[in-house]
Amino acid sequence: MSLIIPKKYKQKLLPETTEIAIKDIKDRFQRQLAEALNLRRVTAPLFVLSGIGLNDDLNGVEHPVSFTIDAMGGAHAEVVHSLAKWKRAKLAAYDIAPGYGLYTDMNAIRTSEDLDNLHSLYVDQWDWEKTIRSEDRNLAYLKATVETIYAVVRDIEQHIYRQFPHITPRLPEKITFIHSEELLRQYPDKTPREREALAAKQYGAIFLLGIGAPLSNGEPHDGRAPDYDDWITPDGEGFRGLNGDIIFWDNILETPFELSSMGIRVSPESLAAQLEMRGCTDRSSLPFHRALLGGELPASIGGGIGQSRLCMFMLQKAHIGEVQASIWPKSQLEACKGAGMEIL
């Protein structure tokens, strides 16, 4: 996505007030999310050792920031992309019972990101993971969890409206569930991004199911690593995948706005199948994957919710740099300044 300059953009809060509102949103959201999903906060790593399979491979092409550790004989470490797999290992380490889980303040560096209104080198999100029973690995449980998260988001939106009445709510009462295969059948001549835009604009808020597995055209809707979300298991409604993305329609940028990727995590069987499909069965020998394939990790559901993304949407900002400090190209900074976007 290239930089979008919205017409007649006017910020609704000055930078100083924005900073106060950011803290309010983050404090309130993480507290309500923890209560709604029975999560407790844990301390998260900024980096992990290379070669143990704990870092998130995202779409499989991104390269993490890495460095050597002098005090450990030159061992290699890498800055996390996310904590998708680390969290599941923590559920096992803490022996967290079904129905309960954990969340973290995750900070990451993603050097492969395109820098635009929604994407930054710096990623901050609430990474959460919850132990579930084997029988909870189904579409109904996934949808109920999405609806719980969406209710918290809408409550935050109403709170911001009470604090700043000129920031009027935009989200619909309910989130709409659509499978990526349904969108492909509805709009066969459109790109995945165009299909997302049409659905998000029509409904206002969608959960797009089935991200990762090839669709009927032979291509996945979007990339997803093979070793955390379960995107291959039949969902009981004629499609595959127990995962998806929470996407809103941003009427300021006139574009889909992804807030969260989440899903029911792979079982030993679906992990083996997904590794086979992606041609990376060699990962089976890594410590994390060995533990999962050996049944040592609990069944779980989890995801990441963008902190700056949430603040940006709630405060109706046009650029993520208005709610977080990062590095941007000089040309982008100049374009934003000229359009009334004050980058922090």
Per-residue confidence (pLDDT) for residue 153, from 0 to 100: 98
Residue of 24, 155, 258, 342 with catalytic role: 258
Domain 15-338 has CATH 3.90.730.10: no
- Three-class SS state of 186: helix
Which H or E element spans position 107? strand 101-109
Note the Cα 191 to chain centre separation in Å: 21
> For the chain, what is the mean pLDDT?
93
Q: Which residue has the tokens 């329609």?
A: 249
Whole-model pTM: value is 0.93
Q: Domain-by-domain residue ranges, the chain?
A: 15-338
The tokens describing 317, both together, are 């900002």
| Main-chain dihedrals φ then ψ at residue 62, nearest 5 degrees | -75, 150
- The catalytic residue among 30, 261, 274, 326 is 261
Helices (H), 221-279: 268-278
Structure tokens at 3: 């930089």
Per-residue pLDDT tens digits for 219-273: 999 988 899 999 999 999 999 999 999 999 999 999 999 999 999 999 999 999 9
**Options 124, 196, 227, 245, the catalytic residue:** 245
Helices (H), the chain: 15-37, 84-93, 139-163, 180-186, 192-203, 268-278, 287-293, 307-314, 330-338
Q: What percent of the chain has pLDDT over 90?
A: 79
Instruction: Name every residue whose Cβ is closer than 8 Å to that of residue 226 and which is 6 or more positions away in sequence.
Output: 212, 266, 271, 274, 275, 277, 278, 280, 283
Cα separation, 188 vs 54, whole angstroms: 37
* Catalytic-residue membership of 245: yes
**With 90 as the cut, is the pLDDT of residue 55 above it?**
no
Asked about 125 being catalytic, the answer comes back as yes
Q: Per residue in 117-130, pLDDT tens?
A: 999 999 999 999 99
Active-site choice (110, 137, 224, 240): 110
For residue 60, pLDDT beyond 70: no
d(CA 56, CA 207): 22
- 56 is a catalytic site residue: yes
- Kindly state the average pLDDT of the residues 82-92: 90
Is 258 marked active-site? yes
Q: What is the mean pLDDT of residues 40-48?
A: 91
Task: Determine the Cα–Cα distance for residues 189 and 4; give it in Å rounded to an integer.
Answer: 24
Distance separating alpha carbons of residues 308 and 325, to the nearest angstrom: 10
Q: Are 99 and 38 in contact (CB under 8 A)?
A: yes
Q: Which of 30, 82, 120, 125 is catalytic?
A: 125
